[in-house]
Amino acid sequence: MDTPLALYTTLLGWQFYNHIWDVLAGVGIVFLPFLGALLASLVTDRMQGDAVEEAPRKSLIRVEARIWLMLFTAMVGAVPSGLTPLTAGSLSYTSPATAASPASPSTGTYGSAGFAAGPASVPVPPWWYLVISVSQGINRAVLAAMPDLQGLQEIEQLARIAYVQDPGLRLEASRFYTDCYIPAKSRLVDDNPHGIDPDQVNWLGGRHLIDTYYGDVRAASAVSGFPFDPARDLEWTSPPGHGWGKPTCRQWWTGAGADPGHGGLRKLLLDEIHTTAPGLTGKLVSILPGAVTPTFVEDHAIRAVLSQDPPSRIDTSLYDSRGTAGGVFDRLQNTAVNFGIFLSRIFVDLFTDMITLGLPIMHALILMSLFMLLPFGVIAASYNPSFLMTGAIALFSVSFWIPIWHMVEWSREQVMLSVFHDAAGNSLTNALMLLTGTAVVDTTKAMLVDLAFSTLFLGLP
């Protein structure tokens, strides 16, 4: 099967087919096309006005040929056959390998638990059994011939669900933002240095800030987990009652001088990632070029968490550092612009997720509906063999949506790698950082790429 859900919907669809066929056969509806063929032949003979001596023989030949053809169509394309059953054990789904997950993951025990409540075996008409087998074979052959995906979509989805769920840690991140990042960034602006990579100063753990300003800036109040240091905490002549001191921002971030259970704000945020988005850092390490260090990957994973749940300034004054109201309008204007970009990004993300995650589910349900309603189509077509070809083309077309979506997703990855690259030409690195919300690129261009390929994902089938 092409999707995990199709394992269930295929069996359920054919189970419903059998129930519907039994009901139609029980009330005699399945025999109406034969009666209709007989009456149509009689009417045709009378209208054509054949000679009396030739009419019975010609009519008998036509009716006999038509009935035999209808019987053949009914036997191979309508009546469920125990010779061609679909069984739960014969259906399988193999997750396609990606650069992030080269080995297809195990489905675990959910498969057997899910099939326990459904049919273990369902008889299927031979023609439709052949159509399903050929369609799945073609799909697997086409998918095997296509290049493997990098797994960018999986990483993007993991990055979106990463968040800080511990309220205490959210508060500590906001304190660090207020006590460390804002003062350090203000000093950086005042110094107006040149040649600094914006990527190293535009987030809490920017390497330039850690190496320079964070060594001098300290927490405004005691931080739990950092013991009192008389050489550093000169404002106290003796240890305070709680026993905690005011670490430098470098210590606070890296965990230097902290109790073993604290490890620094960076480690606490990284542990939160492992809880809310398990596997994110591992997949990033496995897919990024070998020259990229684990520290680099972890930093961008932390940035992804902070972008999903950004820390806020505890002191909410709108006045600028000079005590004037000149910054009020700029702040409001920047806030409005950022809010508009945020809403646009949210809309694009929701639309993209709805398409890429929802359509495979709809695909499995559409297949189930087609299987379930086939009895009505076969009978309405009066067991015409042409319906078997029409139905086969329809089922194959719907089944082939999976290779089409694979091609669209692969094309999207290639466009992301081609359009978004950093100064060193590291397209894969920058594309992944874009997907995790940490790259400094044209957000509008990224949204347009997502919208374009989401439209293809929806429109090509």
**Which tens digits make up the pLDDT trace of 166-176?**
888 888 999 99
Asked if 176 and 265 touch (Cβ cutoff 8 Å), the reply is yes
Locate 196 and state its tokens. 């600094």
Q: Which helix (H) or strand (E) holds 63?
A: helix 55-77
Cα separations (Å) of 80 from 14, 69, 90, 167?
9, 18, 17, 59
In a domain, 18, yes or no: yes
Res. 386 pLDDT band, cuts 50 70 90: very high
- Within this chain, do residues 12 and 116 fall inside the same structural domain, yes or no? yes
**Region of poorest pLDDT, from 252-266, 277-291, 325-339, 426-440:** 325-339
The residue among 351 and 87 whose pLDDT is bigger is: 87
The predicted model scores a pTM of 0.67
In a domain, 336, yes or no: no
Alpha-carbon distance of 73 to 387, in angstroms, equals 9
- Within this chain, do residues 8 and 117 fall inside the same structural domain, yes or no? yes
Alpha-carbon distance of 114 to 9, in angstroms, equals 11
Res. 39 pLDDT band, cuts 50 70 90: confident
Kindly state the average pLDDT of the residues 378-396: 94
- Within this chain, do residues 44 and 125 fall inside the same structural domain, yes or no? yes
Tell me which of 271, 297, 328 is where a domain ends: 328
Other CB atoms within 10 A of residue 122 CB: 21
Asked if 36 and 143 touch (Cβ cutoff 8 Å), the reply is no
At residue 208, the pLDDT reads 87
- Within this chain, do residues 303 and 200 fall inside the same structural domain, yes or no? yes
The residue among 448 and 424 whose pLDDT is bigger is: 448
In a domain, 342, yes or no: no
Alpha-carbon distance of 369 to 96, in angstroms, equals 26
Alpha-carbon distance of 311 to 398, in angstroms, equals 46
Kindly state the average pLDDT of the residues 235-242: 83
Res. 26 pLDDT band, cuts 50 70 90: very high
Asked if 158 and 279 touch (Cβ cutoff 8 Å), the reply is yes
Res. 257 pLDDT band, cuts 50 70 90: confident
Other CB atoms within 10 A of residue 325 CB: 10
The residue among 331 and 291 whose pLDDT is bigger is: 291
Alpha-carbon distance of 74 to 83, in angstroms, equals 15
Tell me which of 299, 328, 357 is where a domain ends: 328
Res. 38 pLDDT band, cuts 50 70 90: confident
Tell me which of 328, 359, 380 is where a domain ends: 328
Res. 62 pLDDT band, cuts 50 70 90: confident
Coil, helix or strand for 391?
helix
CA 308-339-315 angle, 5° bins: 75
Alpha-carbon distance of 44 to 160, in angstroms, equals 67
pLDDT of 313 higher than 70: yes
The residue among 278 and 429 whose pLDDT is bigger is: 278
Locate 2 and state its tokens. 């092409």
**Region of poorest pLDDT, from 125-134, 196-205, 210-219:** 196-205
Kindly state the average pLDDT of the residues 70-99: 78
The residue among 183 and 148 whose pLDDT is bigger is: 183
Locate 171 and state its tokens. 């508060």
DSSP 150: -
Alpha-carbon distance of 112 to 324, in angstroms, equals 68
Alpha-carbon distance of 112 to 88, in angstroms, equals 9
- Within this chain, do residues 321 and 434 fall inside the same structural domain, yes or no? no
Q: Which helix (H) or strand (E) holds 135?
A: helix 126-145
In a domain, 299, yes or no: yes
In a domain, 213, yes or no: yes
Other CB atoms within 10 A of residue 55 CB: 15
**Region of poorest pLDDT, from 113-127, 171-185, 306-320, 386-400:** 306-320
DSSP 95: P
- Within this chain, do residues 135 and 195 fall inside the same structural domain, yes or no? no
Alpha-carbon distance of 357 to 360, in angstroms, equals 6
At residue 370, the pLDDT reads 95
Coil, helix or strand for 426?
coil
In a domain, 334, yes or no: no
Alpha-carbon distance of 372 to 20, in angstroms, equals 8
Res. 347 pLDDT band, cuts 50 70 90: low
Locate 420 and state its tokens. 């978004």
Q: What φ, ψ does residue 309 adopt, rounded to 5°?
A: -135, 70
- For the chain, the domain total comes to 2
pLDDT of 127 higher than 60: yes
Locate 339 and state its tokens. 């809010």
- Within this chain, do residues 378 and 432 fall inside the same structural domain, yes or no? yes
In a domain, 340, yes or no: no
- Within this chain, do residues 176 and 248 fall inside the same structural domain, yes or no? yes
Alpha-carbon distance of 455 to 87, in angstroms, equals 36
In terms of Cβ atoms closer than 10 Å to its own Cβ (0-12, 13-18, 19+), residue 135 is buried
- Within this chain, do residues 291 and 166 fall inside the same structural domain, yes or no? yes
Please count the helices (runs of H) and the strands (runs of E) in the chain.
18, 2
Long-range contact set of residues 102-110: C-beta below 8 Å, sequence gap at least 24: 107/4
Spatial CA neighbour of 257 closest among 249, 266, 247 = 247
Alpha-carbon distance of 245 to 249, in angstroms, equals 12
- Within this chain, do residues 14 and 84 fall inside the same structural domain, yes or no? yes
Res. 242 pLDDT band, cuts 50 70 90: confident
pLDDT of 280 higher than 90: no
The residue among 26 and 115 whose pLDDT is bigger is: 26
Coil, helix or strand for 261?
coil
In a domain, 260, yes or no: yes
Q: What φ, ψ does residue 141 adopt, rounded to 5°?
A: -65, -40
Locate 328 and state its tokens. 């009020």
- Within this chain, do residues 207 and 298 fall inside the same structural domain, yes or no? yes
Domain ranges, residue 194:
160-328
Q: Where are the alpha helices (DSSP H) in 279-399?
A: 280-287, 294-308, 326-380, 385-399
Res. 94 pLDDT band, cuts 50 70 90: low
- Within this chain, do residues 24 and 119 fall inside the same structural domain, yes or no? yes
The residue among 425 and 138 whose pLDDT is bigger is: 138
